Amino acid sequence: MLWFQGNSTQLAKYSFRLLLRNRSASKTVLPVLTLFTKDPCPLCDEAKEVLEPYKNRFVLQEVDITLPENSAWYERYKFDIPVFHLNGQFLMMHRVDISKLEKQLQKLEQQGL
């Protein structure tokens, strides 16, 4: 599990570097699942437990929205965490929707991304 601290531009660059690192380390590129969170966040902890069986299918990147450099994410998601993005695109919020996650992961796996 990875921890990211930075603004949205840094987040995009960091996600891209993660994808490149995955590509060089393996023939299979794992998608990046970004969790927007804060501490404490019992719903985020619960979401991570639900995601545990899928952890070999993505790289989990956590973004603490309470850090000063993440104030834009805080303003956007302060009442909605946990929020998940998959490869930089909004995926879901509040609770893990396994069917939605599975559908998007399969789509990416079929595309080879």
Distance CA 19, CA 109 (A): 14
- Residue 102's pLDDT band (cuts 50, 70, 90): very high
Q: Which of 68, 80, 90 has the alpha carbon at shortest distance from 37?
A: 80
For residue 112, what pLDDT is reported?
Answer: 78
CATH code of the region 34-104? 3.40.30.10
Q: What is the DSSP secondary structure assignment for residue 1, as one 8-state letter? A: -
- Residue 1's pLDDT band (cuts 50, 70, 90): very low
How does pLDDT run across 30-59, given as a tens digit for each residue?
Answer: 999 999 999 999 999 999 999 999 999 999
